[in-house]
Amino acid sequence: METTTGADLHLHLVELSAVHTAAAHLPAALPEPERAALHRRYAPGRRRTQAETSRLLAHAVRRRATGRPHLNVSHDSGLLALLQSTGPCGVDVEDAPEGELREVADRYCGDADARLLARPGGARLLWAAKESVAKALGHGLRAGLATIHFTDHPGLTWAEATWRGAPTGLRTRTLDLGGRHLALTAPSAPGTAPGAVRLSRWTPGDGDGRWTLRPSSSTAELPEISTSD
């Protein structure tokens, strides 16, 4: 069993369907210059609301945090996830159909991924896992997802990630949430894995005529993630 002295992780989730409803009736509770910049960048609609949600959640998390946490954000069509860590981190949430990702798997998978790719749901698992590593590395898709691999199955344990054949000092864990995969990547010293992942869910609410985000329940641990092999 590995020790759990890796990064301290806190996962924040927002269901976007409720956010889109709130945003249809109220402006976002962002500083006016920031809100105006987003309105110039995005036309009214889902992408603007997703961007506003990301900003609001990041502001709320930073206000509650001690020190200067590392934050990383991802969203798909229905869920927004923000990972808060004591070190560089990456998160990806993906609801693209497994079949569509499997059709283009040769673009982001190599021979070293064959065992994982052959498993049910393997294409979406690998996409989410690799993208979370690329984000933690600070390169995004420029890292070349086909050059990122794992020493173990990230759906079963915190798997060590390699990039271009070299260790990254990062470990990745994926969750199948039913219709989507969620992947978390965080730094971890040799022989260690990240500890328990804290979980908070947020919902939109009315704050003086503007919509904002509030924690919907007390913080809990993410039970699906184990720190042992």
* Residue 218: predicted pLDDT: 65
Note whether residue 3 is domain-resident: no
> What distance in Å separates the CA atoms of residue 222 and residue 81, rounded to the nearest whole number?
13
| One domain, residues 217 and 188 | no
In one-letter notation, the amino acid at residue 175 is L
Tell me, what's the pLDDT at 164?
96
Q: What is the pLDDT of residue 25?
A: 93
Cβ atoms of 16 and 75 closer than 8 Å = yes
Answer yes or no: do 220 and 161 share one domain: no
Which residue matches tokens 């961007």?
A: 51
One domain, residues 105 and 136: yes
40 domain residue, yes or no: yes
| 2 domain residue, yes or no | no
Looking at residue 226, its pLDDT comes to 42
Res 191: pLDDT: 80
Domains held by the chain: number: 2
- What is the per-residue pLDDT for 192? 84
The answer to whether residues 92 and 187 belong to one domain is: yes
Q: Where are the alpha helices (DSSP H) in 24-138?
A: 32-41, 46-64, 98-103, 114-117, 122-137
Position 80 in a domain: no
Domain extent, residue 53, equals: 15-68+203-229
- 107-142 burial, b at 16+ Cβ within 10 Å, e below that, comes to ebbeebbeebbeeeebbbbbbbbbbbbbbbbeeeee
According to DSSP, the β-strands at 181-187 and 197-207 are: unpaired
SS3 of 184, please?
strand
**Residue whose C-alpha is closest to residue 162's, from 151, 152, 173, 153:** 151
- pTM for this prediction: 0.92
Q: What integer pLDDT is reported at residue 6 of this predicted model?
A: 60
Q: Are both 36 and 96 inside the same structural domain?
A: no
Which residues, given as ranges, of the chain have pLDDT below 70?
1-6, 217-220, 223-229
